[in-house]
Structure 1
Amino acid sequence: MSALVAENVVTGYGKQEIVRGVSVTAEAGKITCIFGPNGCGKSTLLKAIAGALPLWNGTTLLDGITLSNLPVHQVVRNGLVLMPQGGGVFPRLTVTENLRMGGYAIPDKRLMERRIEALIDQYPSLARRRHTAAGSLSGGEQAMLSLARALVSEPRFILLDEPSAGLSPAMVNETLERITTLTAQGIGILMVEQNIREAMPIADKLYILAAGEKRFEGSPQDVRDDRQIMDIYMGGV
């Protein structure tokens, strides 16, 4: 089984410990969601797994290969990509130039350009605006650009930090549908979301964090069957 595993992760900022011994596992071809209140360490955990934040303790592995504290570009080459909250597009760069940023870790630039062309064909709205500065795109178009950029390196796993943030209800649905289609290609998704109502139906597995610690692990049905968990952490969804 292809899997992304984080074991006993401890990390934070400065001297402040944010994530306290959290372990999560995401499987290929499945969507694993992390829920929890603001400030509980969800985004910090994703950054540590992606190599954007040093691990203070613990281990991260992708298909048994240790990723712990590797530089981000090496993590990407091993098949793991982070799509940060808000997408992180480069507003002054064109759509095509943003996609090239997603392929920075690919040594063969001709291969990178072929992948970009293939992705643009899959995203008609981006194809129409490929020479347009990303900052002039709508929020939904920027979300699609961010997702397409994450795919340029052909990752085996994608970390998504609140992909629905700031989107209209229609674009939330489209974005989550796009994410679901990626699993059909065998890509594993580890996703942090605040939009529990929309994300929970597409999740295969859930984790709930609070105060930097894991408080729950199970299936969506396990959550629904636990009224206390639903009321305390899920707002009764």
Structure 2
Amino acid sequence: MTNVLEIDSLYVNYGKVEALTDLTISVGQGEIVSLLGNNGAGKSSTLAAVSGVVRPRSGTITAFGDDITTMTPWRIVERGVVHVPEGRRIFSRLTVHENLLIGGYSVKDSSLIDRRIGEVYELLPRLAERRTQAGGTLSGGEQQMLAIGRAMVTGPKLLMLDEPSMGLAPIIVAQVMEAIRTINTGGTAVLLIEQNARSALKVAHRGYVIDSGHVTLEGSSELLRADSRVIDAYLGK
């Protein structure tokens, strides 16, 4: 399997605090890979480093064969790596449709933007129903879907999601996870950070457990779901 993302021996510091220490992970073409770990384990720092928001102290990040370790965030987006951060961060005063249009800011072809927005409305019909509604008036689940939809208009080849189910009711979590599965089926690789380990391992093909900034466990979702350490720490009995 060809890897779309390779992180090799990555170190990230915030001042004197080590966020990532010798982190090595990969995402293959067509995969959903989940990162599991407690708060402060380094999961969000991993996505921030890949998207160029923070600069690693050492190590390399390769996406689609290109070294993106020191690349600017907008160049990374142009290469097809798109990050949906924790907290949704939609534009609350803009309409749903206007938020989606902003997702196409780096796309030069207006007809392609229109086509992608149409695909988002098909994938997430609730957004189509709310297209003229201000983003700030949507429910939490609708805002999360809008954040994902906006990212899809950018045209990602690798979609990175940070805690997409946070604060959502179980039925909405299931809808978000199903949308992620559908996006992946369409050919987009996914790197997923998710506190809801049970939901994450249902949708992911593989996973890594991160603790104190490095990988402590990795394997297929089936193996991780059956591992007593994962059960005790994240799944419960």
- Per-residue CA deviations over 1:147-197 (Å, capped at 9, x if unaligned) read 111101211110010111111111000000010111211111110110012
Answer yes or no: is the 8 Å Cα contact 1:28–1:183 preserved in 2. no
Q: Which residue is 2:65 aligned to?
A: 64
- Unaligned stretches of 5+ in structure 1? none
Q: 1:14 to 1:110 in 2, by over 3 A?
A: farther
1:74-223 to structure 2, matched below 5 A, reads 74-223=75-224
CA RMSD, 1 decimal = 1.7
Once residues 170 and 196 of structure 1 are traced to their aligned partners in structure 2, the CA distance between those partners, rounded to angstroms, is: 16
- Unaligned stretches of 5+ in structure 2? none
Once residues 174 and 226 of structure 1 are traced to their aligned partners in structure 2, the CA distance between those partners, rounded to angstroms, is: 27
Q: Which residue is 1:22 aligned to?
A: 23
- Asked if 1:33 is matched to 2:34, the reply is yes
The residue type equivalent to 1:96 in the other structure is H
SS in 1 for 2:76: helix
The residue type equivalent to 2:98 in the other structure is E
Answer yes or no: is the 8 Å Cα contact 2:123–2:179 preserved in 1. no
- Distance apart, 1:110 and its partner CA: 4.3
- Distance apart, 1:48 and its partner CA: 0.6
- Per-residue CA deviations over 1:41-83 (Å, capped at 9, x if unaligned) read 1111111111111121111111211111211111111011001
- Asked if 1:234 is matched to 2:234, the reply is yes
Q: Using structure 1 for the length normalisation, give the TM-score.
A: 0.93
Once residues 163 and 81 of structure 1 are traced to their aligned partners in structure 2, the CA distance between those partners, rounded to angstroms, is: 14
Once residues 67 and 109 of structure 1 are traced to their aligned partners in structure 2, the CA distance between those partners, rounded to angstroms, is: 27
SS in 1 for 2:6: strand
Answer yes or no: is the 8 Å Cα contact 1:12–1:44 preserved in 2. no
Once residues 227 and 124 of structure 2 are traced to their aligned partners in structure 1, the CA distance between those partners, rounded to angstroms, is: 40
Once residues 105 and 191 of structure 1 are traced to their aligned partners in structure 2, the CA distance between those partners, rounded to angstroms, is: 23
- Distance apart, 1:119 and its partner CA: 2.3
The residue type equivalent to 1:185 in the other structure is G
Once residues 197 and 123 of structure 2 are traced to their aligned partners in structure 1, the CA distance between those partners, rounded to angstroms, is: 28
Q: Aligned residue pairs: how many?
A: 236
Once residues 227 and 121 of structure 1 are traced to their aligned partners in structure 2, the CA distance between those partners, rounded to angstroms, is: 40
Answer yes or no: is the 8 Å Cα contact 2:3–2:26 preserved in 1. no
Q: Which residue is 1:42 aligned to?
A: 43
Q: 1:122 to 1:226 in 2, by over 3 A?
A: closer
Q: 1:66 to 1:136 in 2, by over 3 A?
A: same
SS in 2 for 1:207: strand
- Distance apart, 1:14 and its partner CA: 3.1
Q: 1:10 to 1:113 in 2, by over 3 A?
A: same
Q: 1:114 to 1:8 in 2, by over 3 A?
A: same
Q: Using structure 2 for the length normalisation, give the TM-score.
A: 0.93
